[in-house]
Amino acid sequence: MSDATVHLIQKSPFDGQALESCLRVCAPNDLIVLMYDAVYAATMPRQWPATAVYALADDVSARGISDKLQRGIDTIDYTGLVELCAAHRHSQSWF
């Protein structure tokens, strides 16, 4: 089990501070999962202070942004999300 944290970001990057607040406390070996309206952040170029960034596949597909994901961001399905959370001691939700 990893001591790194999985950060679950859930709000649009244009709606409130969820994304920015998470990035402020995110450690370099943490992971980020973008879900719900946060998947829109996967279409914007930016530096991510995390070891990996994922976007939830169902939410990407629902919003019609599959072909707009920035390089370096992989999609993950719900099974993968559960496995990711189970493999890490902590997960933190940002909304």
Q: Least distance (Å) from another protein to the CB of residue 4? A: 28
For residue 24, report the phi and psi dihedrals to the nearest 5 degrees: -70, -30
Taking CB under 8 A as the binding criterion, the range among 1-9, 22-30, 59-67, 80-88 that sits at the site for another protein is 59-67
Does residue number 43 form part of the binding site for another protein (CB under 8 A)?
yes
- From CA 81, how far away is CA 47, in angstroms rounded? 22
Sign of the Cα torsion 32, 10, 8, 75 reads: negative
- By C-beta, is 38 or 50 nearer to another protein? 38
Let me know: does 44 contact 9? Beta carbons within 8 Å: no
Q: Would you count residue 45 as binding another protein (CB under 8 A)?
A: yes
Site for another protein, rule CB under 8 A: 11-12, 14-15, 36-37, 40, 43-45, 58-59, 61-68
